[in-house]
Structure 1
Amino acid sequence: MQAGADVIHGCALGIGERVGNTPMDQVLVNLKLLGAIDQDLIKLKDYCETASRACHVAIPPGYPVFGSD
């Protein structure tokens, strides 16, 4: 974004057809930690859990921020 990107593409939990899909939840958390965004991320856990259920893909225990560990 600092280099001039207008858009960031990402996927729910990084789930996608091939490898290298950016997990949108992790992008948002890191942007928040860096102070680049000011939005409230209170519903981000619900987003991840909904995506997990809809895609029938469990959130790994060690998944950053929302894993059970």
Structure 2
Amino acid sequence: MKETLNLDLVNQLIPQLVNLAKEHWTSCDWQYGPPVEIFADTGYICIRYEKGNCWHYDLKNNLWF
């Protein structure tokens, strides 16, 4: 279930999120397109990509799943 994002907090975390997402994209043969939506789910910031795939980004531990 999508959660409401605290926009002030997201604004502070954007540089870290961008860096982690770029690390994700370059770690494989990325075929999912550009980001189209950012949302929160189960305490994580998530990115939905053009092909419909979503990943959760754990900014505390620099992981994605």
Is the TM-score greater than 0.5? no
Q: TM-score, normalised by structure 1?
A: 0.31
Q: TM-score, normalised by structure 2?
A: 0.33
- Answer with 1 or 2: which has the greater Rg: 1
Higher RCO (CA < 8 A, seq sep 6+): 2
More strand by share: 2
